[in-house]
Amino acid sequence: MRSQLPVVTALIVLAAAVGAVRGEEKPVPLKPGPGEDVVAANCNACHSLDYIRINTPFMTGKMWEAEVSKMISAFGATIEPADAKTITDYLSRNYGKPG
């Protein structure tokens, strides 16, 4: 009798792959804190919030300020100046390195 193992293995691999794809679609959690909701509302329109976390190790407060300005001036993000300030403060506090 032939073993069913290869079929079972293929099904497990397929299920895992589907799970992984689904996982990517989950909203990226931000660190909790004041301004978190403003960031989630304004920085998720064109790309994943993962962009913030991926860049975290390099970014100082000044660089986050420049980054938010760039999203607005270069890429056309529509963010109110007051929200931009909230976002910059939040990012500097939670995802910035000193300096």
Nearest Cα neighbor of 62 from 97, 38, 94 is 97
Selected from 65, 79, 89, 92, the binder of ligand HEC by CB under 6 A is 79
Closest approach of ligand HEC to the CB of residue 66, in Å: 9
Nearer to ligand HEC, 14 or 54 (CB): 54
Only segment of 4-12, 16-24, 28-36, 65-73 that touches ligand HEC (CB under 6 A): 65-73
Is residue 20 exposed (0-12), middle (13-18) or buried (19+ Cβ within 10 Å)?
exposed
